Amino acid sequence: MATVALPTADRRLETYRTRGPRPWPVKPANAFNRSALAAAHVVADPLAECDPWLDAPVDWDATIAYRRHLWRLGLGVAEAMDTAQRGMGLDWKTSLELIRRSIEAAKSEGGAVVFSGAGTDHLPPGRYPLDAIIRAYEEQIAAIEALGGRVIIMASRALAASARSPDDYGAVYDRILRQLREPAIIHWLGDMFDPALAGYWGHKDLDGATEVALDVIRRNAAKVEGIKVSLLDKDRELAMRRRLPRGVRMYTGDDFNFAELIAGDEQGYSDALLGILDAIAPAASAALAALARGSRNEFQDMLAPTVPLSRHIFKAPTRFYKTGIVFMAHLNGHQKHFVMIGGQESARSMLHLAELFRLADAAGLVIDPDLAASRMTTVLRGHGIDA
């Protein structure tokens, strides 16, 4: 137990006493019956000589150590995704180095699971012929496959800017999917995560966009491991999940409703590819092991308290959720500092971070209360908030 002075919305400081962590296992008691990939963050290097808004210096040792933490809890890693600030500070050159290091580290962890993001983000902003977008995808896919990696096909800002019709999306995805060595995960990222992706699949209307995505998957089902849908729309995900071809997984990207989507219903369930798994890894690991044992009550008991935390971290503007993910890692001792690529530690307010502390504690995820309270106090003092 520890105490910390936390700011409130009425500009007071209140004394908050932690409840203490739940006794989470250090490794899962049994294998999972869901595929669970954590979109993992990167740890910035605060001592690098750089221009922080322009450069992306990474602390490689701390970054890979965090991936080992996730793997040892039984989770896979979705590498170089938006949680790693891909497209928001992390460029393709650094992303590929991250992917290389992660794949190598996974081998030393007994072949831990890694899927890596391939996109078109090395193209400067603008509109392009479809062939140029296809070549950009091919370049990144080839680089990942040359390292022995599995691919996540990321949504393309260049395609969103350049496509003139839904057929253009079909032409691009058909070309790149049929070239894959192994089936890939398609990532449909909504504009709440990245405004540049508005109207993806050639439709502003999500019903029309869903039909285009499903048509692409049906034509290329042998090359599609699954689709990750990040629209924060539970009913849409359920409806789409029930229409997927046999053998194609739905990877939930719904950080608001993930617990019930993973638990599933009489018609099926969603696997998981989630940024929130980075922050709630001990609880997610224990809950997934319980679900695989057939204990849905234990699953809900462990995972349900993490949902308010996730909804807070991913609240609008959703694209700033990375700040909360990194702050959780700092509170729990996985990195010594609260510094982010692009200076994005400033993207959330002190009130937001204080409420995150309360919700993380309520979920049993403040692992070392004394350390977390000390670090929370230090961050507040750095912003002129001193008890």
Specify whether the CB–CB gap between 334 and 372 falls below 8 A: no
Question: 273 and 37 in contact (C-beta within 8 Å)?
Answer: yes
**What H or E segment, with its residue span, contains residue 144?**
helix 130-146
Instruction: Please give the average per-residue pLDDT across 336-353, as a whole number.
Output: 96
Query: How far apart are alpha carbons 321 and 328 in whole angstroms?
Result: 11
* Residue 307: predicted pLDDT: 98
Greater model confidence, 110 or 361: 361
Sheet strands (E) in the chain: 3-7, 13-17, 36-39, 76-79, 114-118, 150-153, 184-189, 224-230, 249-252, 271-274
Q: Which two tokens stand for residue 334?
A: 């996985």
End-to-end CA distance of the chain: 19
Query: What pLDDT score was predicted for residue 356?
Result: 98
Q: Which two tokens stand for residue 20?
A: 């203490």
Segment 299-312, tens digit of pLDDT? 999 999 999 999 99
Q: Is the pLDDT of residue 387 over 80?
A: no
Q: How much is the pLDDT for 17?
A: 97
d(CA 58, CA 52): 11
Cα separation, 32 vs 74, in Å, equals: 8
| Token output for 282 | 């001990």
386, pLDDT greater than 70: yes
pLDDT value at residue 56: 86
Tokens of 291: 């679900």
Q: d(Cα 331, Cα 342) in Å, to the nearest integer?
A: 20
Average pLDDT over residues 132-138: 98
Backbone dihedral angles phi then psi of residue 184, each to the nearest 5 degrees:
-110, 165
What tokens appear for 109 in the block?
Answer: 């962890």
Q: Quick check: 54 pLDDT over 90? A: no
CATH topology of domain 24-297: TIM Barrel (3.20.20)
- pLDDT band per the 50, 70, 90 thresholds, residue 53: confident
pLDDT above 80 (res 277): yes
Least confident of 43-52, 131-140, 237-246, 252-261: 43-52
Is pLDDT at 148 greater than 70 in this prediction? yes
pLDDT digits (tens, 9 = 90+) for 310-329: 999 999 999 999 999 999 99
> Rounded to whole angstroms, how far apart are CA atoms 65 and 74?
15
Is pLDDT of 247 > 80?
yes
> Is residue 253's pLDDT more than 70?
yes
- State pTM to two decimals: 0.96
Q: With 90 as the cut, is the pLDDT of residue 52 above it?
A: no
> Which residues, at least 6 apart from 231, have a Cβ–Cβ distance to it below 8 Å?
188, 190, 192, 206, 237, 253, 254
Mean pLDDT in the chain? 97
DSSP state of 269: -
Q: What share of the chain is helix, strand, coil (3-state, %, to 5)?
A: 50, 15, 40
Q: Which residue has the higher pLDDT, 165 or 1?
A: 165
Instruction: Give the whole-angstrom CA distance, residue 255 versus residue 33.
Output: 20
- φ and ψ of 303, to 5 deg: -90, -35
pLDDT of residue 1: 85
Higher pLDDT pick, 18 / 53: 18
The sign one gets for the Cα dihedral 72, 76, 82, 87 is: positive
Q: Where exactly are the structural domains of the chain?
A: 1-21+305-387, 24-297
pLDDT class for 20, splitting at 50, 70, 90? Answer: confident
> Averaged over 47-52, what is the pLDDT?
90
